[in-house]
C-alpha cells in the first residue's frame, strides 16, 4: 500500500523534473541569443549618438535648407526648359515685319506662304531620299490665307502656332520615314486649362503614310520632337494597310496609313 501511495508522487516529481529540464534547455540558447543582441545594441549606441547632431538641431536644419535650395534650383531649371519649348510653339515667323511686337497684317500671309514653300521643299526632299515620291504635300492652309485677306491678331496667333507645330511634326516624322497623306487636323482648346495647372493642352491628329517597320521610330519621333517642342501624349493610334501599287521594285516596301491623335501640353507661366 505504501508503494502504491508513493507512485503518484514519484510520477509528479518526474514530470516536474522533465518540465524544468525542457525549460532550461530552451531558455539557455534564448538567453544566449538575447545577450548577443543586447551586446550588439550596446555597440550601436555610440554610433547613433555620433550621428545625432546631423539628425536633429542646427546640422539637420542646414542640410534641410540645402536640400530645399537644390530642389528649387531643379524646379527653376525645369521651368526654364519648359518656357523655351513653349516659345518654339508661339514664336513668329523669322522674316515677317513686326509692328509694336506683332506681325504686320498685310505681310503675315506672305510670310506664311514662304514658310510653307520651304517646308514643302524640305519634306519632299526627305521623301525622295527614301524613294518616296510626294506628288502633293498636304499642308494646313487657313481660309484667310487662301483668300489673301488680312487676318485678325487672334487668327495670326492661331495660324502661327499651328504652322510651328506642323513644321516641327512633319520634320520629325520625315526623319523617321513617315510622310503625311492628309493635312494635320488641329482641334480647338489650346487655352483650355484644368484647374490651376501651369500647362495648357490641345489635341491634333496627324495622318501619315509609312512602311510598317518605321512605325516605332515614327511614334518615338512624335513623342520626343527633338526635345524642342511641347510635351506629347499619344492618345489613339489607328493603322490600316495601303493598297499595293501596280508596280513595285525589289527595294520597295508596302505602306500603311497611320492616324495618330496627339495631346500637346505647353507651359503657360
Mean pLDDT in order along the chain per 10 residues (269 residues): 58 62 60 74 70 64 72 71 75 85 85 92 94 88 78 88 94 96 85 68 93 95 88 94 77 88 83
Specify the 3-state DSSP secondary structure of 186: strand
pLDDT at 60: 63
**What pLDDT is stored for residue 30 in this prediction?**
66
End-to-end CA distance of the chain: 105
Which residues are registered as beta bridge partners of 238? 259
* CATH number, span 84-267: 3.30.70.60
The secondary element (H helix, E strand) that includes residue 25 is helix 2-55
Give the model's pLDDT for residue 152: 87
Cβ burial of 228 (10 Å; 0-12, 13-18, 19+) is middle
CB 121 within 8 A of CB 165: no
Per-residue pLDDT, 236: 96
Record the pTM: 0.70
Look at phi and psi of residue 87 and say left if phi exceeds 0, alpha if psi is from -120 to 50, else beta.
alpha
Give residue 265's pLDDT: 84
Amino acid at each position: 500500500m505504501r508503494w502504491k501511495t508513493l507512485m503518484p508522487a514519484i510520477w509528479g516529481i518526474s514530470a516536474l523534473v522533465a518540465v524544468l529540464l525542457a525549460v532550461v534547455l530552451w531558455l539557455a540558447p534564448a538567453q544566449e541569443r538575447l545577450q548577443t543582441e543586447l551586446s550588439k545594441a550596446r555597440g550601436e549606441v555610440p554610433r547613433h549618438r555620433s550621428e545625432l547632431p546631423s539628425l536633429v538641431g542646427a546640422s539637420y536644419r542646414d542640410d534641410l535648407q540645402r536640400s530645399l535650395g537644390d530642389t528649387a534650383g531643379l524646379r527653376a531649371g525645369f521651368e526654364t526648359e519648359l518656357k523655351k519649348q513653349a516659345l518654339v510653339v508661339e514664336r513668329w515667323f523669322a522674316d515677317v515685319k513686326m509692328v509694336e511686337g506683332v506681325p504686320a497684317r498685310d505681310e503675315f500671309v506672305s510670310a506664311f506662304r514662304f514658310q510653307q514653300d520651304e517646308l514643302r521643299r524640305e519634306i519632299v526632299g526627305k521623301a525622295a531620299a527614301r524613294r518616296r515620291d510626294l506628288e502633293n504635300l498636304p499642308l494646313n492652309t487657313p481660309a484667310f490665307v487662301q483668300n489673301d485677306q488680312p487676318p485678325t491678331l487672334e487668327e495670326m496667333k492661331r495660324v502661327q502656332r499651328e504652322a510651328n507645330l506642323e513644321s516641327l511634326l512633319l520634320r520629325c516624322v520625315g526623319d523617321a520615314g513617315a510622310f503625311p497623306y492628309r493635312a494635320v487636323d488641329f482641334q480647338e482648346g489650346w487655352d483650355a486649362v484644368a484647374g490651376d495647372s501651369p500647362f495648357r493642352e490641345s489635341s491634333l491628329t496627324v495622318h501619315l503614310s509609312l512602311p510598317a517597320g518605321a512605325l516605332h521610330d515614327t511614334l518615338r519621333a512624335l513623342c520626343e520632337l527633338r526635345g524642342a517642342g511641347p510635351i506629347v501624349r499619344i492618345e489613339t493610334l489607328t493603322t490600316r494597310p495601303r493598297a499595293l501599287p501596280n508596280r513595285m521594285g525589289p527595294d520597295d516596301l508596302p505602306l500603311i496609313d497611320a492616324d495618330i491623335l496627339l495631346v500637346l501640353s505647353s507651359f503657360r507661366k
